[in-house]
Amino acid sequence: MQNGLLLIDSLNLIRRLHAALDSETDDVRRIERTQSLCIDALAKLVHQFEPKYMAIVFDSPAKTWRHEMFPEYKLGRPPMDDSLLDAMASFAEVFRFNGWPCLRLQGWEADDLIATLAYKASQHDIASMIVSTDKGYTQLLQYPHILQYDYFAKLGYDAFWVEQKYGVKPQQLPDYWALVGDTTNHIPGVKGVGPKSSVEILQGKQSLEDVFADLTDYPAKYQKLLQGQLEHCQFARAMVTLKLDVEIGIRLSQLERKGSHH
């Protein structure tokens, strides 16, 4: 990944590593061990991808636009451990100490920041590697130079992977999730429509609007399920679509990794 940008979904990494240490009963010790596992993981990733630029992106604790639009957003997701939440600033400190740039922006989730950075880099022909197990990022694989990597499964995702897994192209994923629902974030889809039906419904269509323009194209069972659902689908799609235009206010050069000069 010559001159590339490594983007780390920090909470995704930290929570997974913290969860794996559930046998450690001492909170302070557990945080310390999580931090050292994170440092190991990040050092491996930096060594593996040799990025010129990097950002370890944190979520803002404040409510985001998704919560404004949909108060039930992420409801039912287990809340983060208090001790872990309180330690977030110290995680960023430890990472910065290692020369790894960290980023957090008030009122924004990490996924929108990561999406914006990857998309901007893509427009300048700079390769991005997004490290997260969160499938929401796979919609970005429609753009050139963006890939995703699951550190835990040691698995890379690209546009071909998306089609194999979901049966739709990456750019159709927000439409697909609008129909199926996004359970991890508590966003309901269309009642009675599952993954297979969604793929059939989107077959040969450009967008949800295209689907709903003429429901008589479909067999009666789909017509019945989809009737009157356009607005809900558009709302769900807006919720799962990552923002590509967040005003982050930093230049790529500010994300240069310390010690990346060879």
Number of domains in the chain: 2
Task: Tell me: do 61 and 86 sit in the same domain.
Answer: yes
Residue range 203-215, pLDDT digits in tens: 999 999 999 999 9
Task: Tell me: do 88 and 31 sit in the same domain.
Answer: yes
CA angle, corner 11, sides to 19 and 171, nearest 5?
Answer: 120
Task: Tell me: do 101 and 49 sit in the same domain.
Answer: yes
Q: What is the pLDDT of residue 85?
A: 87
Contact 92, 102 (CB under 8 A): yes
In which residue ranges of the chain is pLDDT below 70? 260-262
Q: What is the pLDDT of residue 78?
A: 79
Spatial CB neighbours of 53, under 8 Å, sequence gap ≥ 6: 3, 4, 5, 6, 101, 121, 126, 252, 255, 256, 257, 260
The pTM of this model reads 0.94
Spatial CB neighbours of 93, under 8 Å, sequence gap ≥ 6: none
Residue range 165-206, pLDDT digits in tens: 999 999 999 999 999 999 888 899 999 999 999 999 999 999
Residue 235 DSSP SS3? helix
Contact 120, 73 (CB under 8 A): no
Q: Which CATH number do you get for residue 211?
A: 1.10.150.20
How far is Cα of residue 157 from the mean position of the Cα atoms in its chain?
A: 13
Task: Tell me: do 225 and 154 sit in the same domain.
Answer: no
Q: What is the pLDDT of residue 260?
A: 59
Residue 137 DSSP SS3? helix
Report in angstroms the alpha-carbon separations of 19 from 8, 82, 130, 134.
18, 13, 21, 16
Phi and psi of 147, rounded to 5°?
A: -130, 160
In a domain? residue 27: yes
Task: Tell me: do 114 and 201 sit in the same domain.
Answer: no
Contact 103, 57 (CB under 8 A): yes
Stretch (H or E) spanning 174? helix 173-180
